[in-house]
Structure 1
Amino acid sequence: MGGMPVLFVHGVAVREEGDQGWEDLHRATQGVNWPGVQRLLREHVAPTLNPDAPERVHIERVYWGDLGAHFAQGGQFRAARGREVAPEPDPLALDADGLGEALERRLRAAHPVSEWPGVIRVAWGVARDERVRALLADLPPYERWGVLDAAAQARLPAPTRRLEPHLPPGLLRARRQNVKRAMREVRRPLEAFVPLFLGDVLAYLSGRGTPERPGAIPQRVLAGLRAAHAARLHPAEPLVVLTHSMGGQLIFDALHAFLPTDPQGGTVRVDFWCACGSQVGAFHELGFTLSGPQPDASAGGRLGYFWNVWAYSDLLSFRAQGIAPGAHDTAFPLSGLVRSDHLAYLQQADFYRTLAAKVAVHAGPTEVGVGPVESGA
């Protein structure tokens, strides 16, 4: 199989099964379903490129999730991974600092936040009181925390004690545990997704290297572009690239910065590039893309038509026309579900049918009856 290549480049927070973070991300967003993307590209775009043998169209992707961010300790910082109630150690097994932290934590759980300043002072005063520690030594272990709580309660300022009866400490503690349990369920998918989303962005920006010495992720992208270029059976065949989200920034940098200095990429040309769910415009205006001082729309002859697809309900997508060189915007109508619309382009047949039409009029092979058209409105 080969010819008429189509290359897909995914965005951040995408992992293959077996890679660290896959289970959490899959639970949060279901991720990018590459077999589904591949099937829809073959069903709707491939017949435009090769109507006689759409099965021969070369469709591949660049996977770079394994090069993105990862949790060095399995994501232990996430609140949703914490235990409901950590068992307290024997107070005498703790030094003054450890006892202060533990006692403060216990007292905060039993008092409204308006009383926390006084609670903190009292907790640490009790923890540092050697007379209290001496008293604990004469008690059996199961009585020690109760005595510490009582000692702290006796030292609380009068306004705090006067306000306390409106909600007993035990009931307040139980209510807070219920709130924590409920909020853990809300936080769980976000705590898995957001750190890896941001982490992958930072991993790329901090590790992409320079045009002369590209980092690991740009090297992966360049290899994908070279392979797609090599899959052409004839030099006149168009190369189509579809990117999602951060994948757009990777291709922008490849076209404007890395390919010009790549000794193996001198003849690589992307005839049609669709950046969907795109942040290219935002990154370019913020100065985070790699390009020369005066980037041109054709990226030095390496780019044909650049179609930037965004949506009002996709809060992670942005305009690019008039900002990133050569971009032509389309606001794509999605379902309006803010939580899922960032991935919705890749799941809708209408998007791929529209993509096929754009490819046909801007980069379609002459055999289809529509010759390649240069970038325009």
Structure 2
Amino acid sequence: MDQLVFVHGVNTRKDAGYGLEVENRDRLFKETAWAGAPVNIHNVYWGDLAAQFGYDLACLPSNGPKSASFGLLGGIATPGAVVQAQPLSSLASTDFGATVDAIFVTMIEESEAAGKPLTDDQIAKFRAAGEYAVNNAAVPPSWATGASSDQVIVSELRKRVAPSGAASFGLGDDIASAAKSLADRARNLVSSGIAPIIRDEASPLVARFLGDIVVYLYDRGTPSKRTKIREIVAADVNAAAIEAKKQSSKVVLIGHSLGGVILRDMLGDPSSGLDQNIKIDLLATVGSQPGLFQEMSLLGNATKAPQKVQLVPSIGSWWNVYDPVDLLSFRCAPMFQDVLDFEFSSVTGLINAHTSYFKRPRFYARLHERLKEIGIGA
């Protein structure tokens, strides 16, 4: 049984929705990326050691319209992509894959907001939608590029991801419900203006991002929070490696945002607590910043520019996934040897680009195909 260790990034706390988010993400990993092949998932949680804000972020501006949503496209659309009357059909004509992702991200968000785990039917639709979007990435389907309305988009998409169900645009249809919510948010953005929304929604994420970085890099306690975070991560990684060795299976490490930095910083550092003799078949950093930290010489290695940092021998493959719209994700190949940078363009916005990688059908569909290429999963 493969062992997957997932290390979360910034702005993650064990609030009311944390458990449900982990449950849904685990199911998507198991049933889409691993396609039913056995995998044991270790979810590393270090959020209790992250930055604390004594005034509950009262320092942030709060002049924007609080009722407005940072929904469809995360508040920033590709120029000309959002038309107030039929926003989904307009987006589909520009980027079909992004339209599919946006609908299913919203479906997951709505389920989690209601405190409901994803159903088997929703997981099946999610997987089918990801495969369909990826298979039609080069040449989008004609029905999508020529759709006359949002209703056509929903009806035609539903036929292809849920062929046994009715292609309705009414109540009781989770795809239609997500699409309607998405379209309503888009119209709200167009009518309300997006600049204040961007500031109000982006500022807390950026503040917590900066705070968590300070905690990891510069905390001077004894022991420091950085040391404690490393101990938590090392315990799960070492345990996963022991299990994988017993079963002659694979070890996969996935780090989101600062989680990817933490993993890359610990690998190859004898003082990190990681067993330096373990074999990591795949390290995947997603929406992460190892490249930025290396540019600033903040990672634990002696290599300086322009020389590239060598790949740690214990790592079989390293994939770094970034979204050009995600301002908190960066390339790694210019700074590190033997890392593959993958661009995952969501045509979305600041907040959604960084926080929704693990809710997008295309992400899991592509991860599944690439895992198969290196002998992992089904």
9, 12, 29: which one aligns with 2:7: 9
Structure 2 unpaired stretches of 5+:
64-193
2:291 alignment counterpart: 281
Matched residue SS, 1:288: coil
- Indicate conservation of the 8 Å contact 2:289/2:328, yes or no: yes
Match runs of 1:194-209 below 5 Å: 194-207=206-219
Equivalent-residue separation in structure 1 for 2:350 and 2:197 (angstroms)? 19
CA contact (8 A) 1:309 1:329 kept: yes
CA distance in 2, matches of 1:285, 1:334: 26
Structure 1: distance between partners of 2:42 and 2:309:
27
Match for residue 38 of structure 1 among 26, 30, 37: 26
Choose 31-40 or 282-291, whichever is displaced more: 31-40
Name the CA distance, whole Å, in 1 between partners of 2:331 and 2:197.
34
Name the residue aligned to 1:126: none
Are the counterparts in 1 of residues 202 and 350 from structure 2 also a CA contact under 8 Å? no
Mapped to 1, the partners of 2:268 and 2:278 lie a distance apart of: 12
Partner residue of 1:302 out of 308, 314, 317: 314
Residues matched between the structures, number: 244
AA at the equivalent of 2:256:
H
Question: Partners in 2 of 1:205 and 1:42 — Cα distance?
Answer: 33
The answer (yes or no) to whether the contact 1:272–1:363 under 8 Å persists in 2 is: no
1:190 Cα deviation after fit:
4.3
Q: Using structure 2 for the length normalisation, give the TM-score.
A: 0.57
Evaluate the alpha carbon distance shift between residue 311 and residue 237 of structure 1 in structure 2; reply closer, same or farther with a 3 A threshold. same
Cα contact 2:332–2:341 (8 A) shared by 1: yes
TM-score of the pair, normalised by structure 1: 0.57
Shift of 1:340: 1.2
Alignment of 1:1-377 (within 5 A): 3-17=1-15, 33-47=21-35, 54=37, 56-78=38-60, 80=62, 188-207=200-219, 215-232=227-244, 234=246, 236-257=248-269, 260-261=270-271, 265-293=275-303, 297-299=310-312, 301-364=313-376
Cα shift at 1:230: 2.5
Deviation at 1:268, TM superposition (A): 2.2
SS at match of 1:241: strand
8 A contact 2:230–2:272 mirrored in 1: no
Q: Of the two structures, which has the highest relative contact order with CA contacts closer than 8 Å and spacing of 6 or more?
A: 2
Give the CA RMSD over aligned residues: 3.4
Say if 1:261 and 1:288 are closer, same or farther in 2 by CA, change over 3 A. Answer: closer
Runs of 4+ in 1 over 6 A off after TM superposition: 182-186
Larger of the two Rg values belongs to structure: 1
Answer whether contact 2:285 2:321 (CA < 8 A) is retained.
Answer: yes
Distance 1:298 1:254 in 2: 13
Give yes or no for contact 1:15–1:65 (8 Å, CA) kept in 2: yes
AA in 2 matched with 1:206: Y
Letter of the structure 2 residue corresponding to residue 232 of structure 1: A
- How far apart are residue 262 of structure 1 and its match? 5.5
Q: Take 1:218 and 1:208, find their aligned partners in 2: how far apart are those partners?
A: 14
1:99 paired residue number: none
SS at match of 1:61: strand
For the 8 Å contact 1:79–1:184, the answer to whether it is kept is no
Q: Decide whether aligned partners of structure 1 residues 186 and 6 sit closer, same or farther in structure 2, where only a CA change above 3 A counts.
A: closer
CA distance in 1, matches of 2:32, 2:371: 11
Is the Cα contact below 8 Å between 1:208 and 1:217 reproduced in 2? no
Query: Do the aligned partners of residues 195 and 230 (structure 1) sit closer, same or farther apart at CA in structure 2, a change above 3 Å counting?
Result: same
Q: Is the 8 A contact 1:40 1:352 kept in 2?
A: yes
Cα separation, 1, equivalents of 2:365 and 2:249: 20
1:355 partner SS: helix
Q: For 1:292 and 1:337, locate their aligned partners in 2 and report how far apart those are by CA, in whole Å.
A: 36
- CA positional deviation for 1:238: 1.1
Q: CA deviation at 1:291?
A: 2.0
Deviation at 1:277, TM superposition (A): 0.9
Q: Is the 8 A contact 1:9 1:242 kept in 2?
A: yes
Q: Is the 8 A contact 2:308 2:334 kept in 1?
A: no
